[in-house]
Amino acid sequence: MLILNNYKELYNTKKEIVVFDLETTGLNPKSERIIEIGALKIRDNEIVDRLSMLVNPGIPVPFYSTKVNGITTDMLIGCISDIEGVKQFIEFSKNCIIVAHNISFDIGFINSYLERANTPILENMLVDTVRLARKAFPGEKKYSLGIIASRLNIDVLNAHRAEDDARVCYELYTMCINKLKNTEMI
């Protein structure tokens, strides 16, 4: 997994960017499953496409997961399988820079699915907005998405739901890149 640390190449990139978030049944990518995928495709600083879906992992959603994200087992009945959702995400993000908050967690889940399917793991360039925010806004006590978003006046409309978390992550990404770019130009 190659997580980018030199952000200068992002300042004027012409590559498409996919900002995404997952909701899962738990924290361990080897034993837990994805239940929601939210992703935004960005070209020239504009959202040009969205991928937002609940996916059925084939197992019940634990109470503690529902408590965090509000997603219940009943909500997933009739949804596409989690494996099909991951395939759609892979296609959606092909040849793009992938951005997420604490990206090791989300990519860990995606790659775990790919490994179980005997498919090569993702080779996309990755950007972690936790690392990016630490560089752009040093000295904060916490860098969780909700806390840093609140600190930067980014509206969180539906916390712990994948598409809105991806939107918040994109706004954070944009603020960080703009701050770093402006700081380095002085």
In angstroms, the CA 172 to CA 170 distance is 5
Using alpha carbons only, give the angle 66, 34, 54 rounded to the nearest 5 degrees: 75
Residue 81, strand partner residues: 56
Answer yes or no: is 7 within a domain.
Answer: no
Answer yes or no: is 3 within a domain.
Answer: no
Q: What is the pLDDT of residues 41-76, one digit of tens each?
A: 999 999 999 999 999 999 999 999 999 999 999 999
Residue holding tokens 């994109």? 170
Q: Is the pLDDT of residue 87 over 70?
A: yes
Answer yes or no: is 109 within a domain.
Answer: yes
In CATH, what number is assigned to the domain containing residue 29? 3.30.420.10
The answer to whether the beta carbons of residues 53 and 86 sit under 8 Å apart is no
DSSP H or E run through 42 = strand 34-43
Active site residues: 160
Give 16's pLDDT tier (boundaries 50, 70, 90). Answer: very high
Closest C-alpha to 38, from 17, 54, 62:
54
Residue 185 is predicted with a pLDDT of 56
What is the rounded average pLDDT for all residues in the chain? 95
Answer yes or no: is 1 within a domain.
Answer: no
Number of independent structural domains in the chain: 1
The pTM of this model reads 0.95
Residue 186 is predicted with a pLDDT of 41
Amino acid code (one letter) for 134 = R
> For residue 59, what are the domain limits?
13-185
